[in-house]
Amino acid sequence: MREKVDKLINNALIVTMNKDRAVIPRGYVAISEGKIVDVGVGDGKSKYDAEEVIEVKRQVVTPGFICAHTHFYGILLTGSPWFGVIEPPSDFQQNLQRIWWALDESLTYEDIYISALLGAIMLARTGTTFFKDLLDAPNAIEGSLDYIEKAVNEVGIRGFAGFSVTQRRSIEEGYQGIKENERFAKKTWSDKNTKVKGVFTVHASFTVTDEILIRTKELADKYGTIYALHVEEGLIDVYHSIERYGKRPIERMRDIGFLSPRLLAIHVVQAIEDELKILKEFDVKVAHNPMSNMINGVGVPPVPKMLDMGITVGIGNDGYIMDVFDNMRTTYLLHKVALKDPRVMPVDKVVEMATIDAAKVLGVDDRMGSIEPGKDADITIIVPDFVHTPLDERTVYGHLVNTFTGNDVWGVLVEGEWVTKERKLVNVDVEEVMERAHKVINKLWERMLSMEPKYKIEYLKP
């Protein structure tokens, strides 16, 4: 007698990302009550009686992709006329002041909600099921993370969200951000129904005092969450730390007891080898955002060296391009150019960085990141319309990195429930969202265009 299950993905090429990195050329995934109950070779219909069978020609099944770092609100500036108003920034420091801090200070609660709604849709459409978001909105702090939670719950994917604690405008503002993070963490970790959980996040070491860093880690320890901040994205971080503390940022963080295996260091572009050894010593995780690093012109982080040292690195997008396939492809290519070595960043490692390694980075690898019995049924189904070379167990990693795009994603399951199916969102009307979003974003742009562009950096006072 066949066992009953909720869903059966059948006759699929399965990239499991399990500990053996097994690829099943023709197999099945059985799902019940939001969990993967079996993964096997052959025809699953001989073993299971499913309420729904998914059997699509040329389907490739992967774990739901995981975004190690994003800023949903970053997508609000795509095509913005603001870029035609300001004097073009010549370095990362000016990028912050003229572009991102101007946007941060313009955000309203409605903007935050719309950005999260759009971002979650964009992730879902292109195969990402879990994320970590960081919000910067200094004029809309209290209750702001609830708007991200609301939007993401509507779409149906899952993730972590935190407020970007900073003292770049005032010392007190940093404590307001910490208060928002603790409020949201307390609220969401006790709520089994929400798909967004609160984590503790800081903007960067050069915009906060030691006290803020220490308090952030204390709260992350108390609630058992990861905690994160941007680390050495630009040279401003390094110069500030050396000037104020006589040591580099990672040395400073080590010396105040901030480092631990639950810390997510975002970017780590400017780190020297001694600092990488410190990250390895404390098992700090890293989020690599290659396309963001490129557009901001900050440099290329030493990711191949990190990997050789055994540092866990996951791929993020930093709020720039949400398609995981674009970010995997850039990760694959960027370091070959930077090191003038075509051997670095093999395709299978790049896929790991967007699945199981990203899950390790966010501390959720016990529940997701691979297709194995007992794990949550977070699954991405890819069905390319056209494949110009054979698609099988020998070539699938190469296709995932080199030829597939977000448009090839046929469906996404989160805890066994459809979020997208047959290339359409299940839970939200995309046309209605776009119509509302464009009106909201135009108002945001109008507010920004009425601002006086700022060209003076206000450093954190010691």
Instruction: Give CA–CA dist 220/175, Å, rounded.
Output: 15
Please list, in sequence order, all residues whose beta carbon lies within 8 angstroms of the beta carbon of residue 417, skipping any fewer than 6 positions away.
34, 156
Please list, in sequence order, all residues whose beta carbon lies within 8 angstroms of the beta carbon of residue 385, skipping any fewer than 6 positions away.
408
At residue 462, the pLDDT reads 41
What residue ranges do the domains of the chain occupy?
3-64+376-425, 65-361
The answer to whether residues 184 and 198 touch, using CB atoms and an 8 Å cutoff, is yes
Left, alpha or beta for 224 (phi > 0: left; psi -120 to 50: alpha)? left
Other CB atoms within a 10 A radius of the CB of residue 192 amount to 6
pTM to 2 decimals?
0.96
The answer to whether residues 145 and 176 touch, using CB atoms and an 8 Å cutoff, is no
Instruction: Give CA–CA dist 248/252, Å, rounded.
Output: 6
> For strand 196-198 and strand 200-204, is the pairing parallel, antiparallel, or unpaired?
unpaired
Please list, in sequence order, all residues whose beta carbon lies within 8 angstroms of the beta carbon of residue 360, skipping any fewer than 6 positions away.
285, 312, 314, 369
Best CA proximity match to 230, nearest among 201, 251, 258: 201
Instruction: Give CA–CA dist 130/107, Å, rounded.
Output: 24
Q: Per this entry, what is the length of the chain?
A: 462
Confirm whether 3-64+376-425 and 65-361 share one CATH topology.
no
pLDDT in tens, the chain (462 residues): 799 999 999 999 999 999 999 999 999 999 999 999 999 999 999 999 999 999 999 999 999 999 999 999 999 999 999 888 888 999 998 999 899 999 999 999 999 999 999 999 999 999 999 999 999 999 999 999 999 999 999 999 999 999 999 999 999 999 999 999 999 999 999 999 999 999 999 999 999 999 999 999 999 999 999 999 999 999 999 999 999 999 999 999 999 999 999 999 999 999 999 999 999 999 999 999 999 999 999 999 999 999 999 999 999 999 999 999 999 999 999 999 999 999 999 999 999 999 999 999 999 999 999 999 999 999 999 999 999 999 999 999 999 999 999 999 999 999 999 999 999 999 999 999 999 999 999 999 999 998 876 645 454 444
At residue 1, the pLDDT reads 79
CATH 2.30.40.10 fits 3-64+376-425, yes or no: yes
* Superfamily of 65-361 according to CATH: Metal-dependent hydrolases (3.20.20.140)
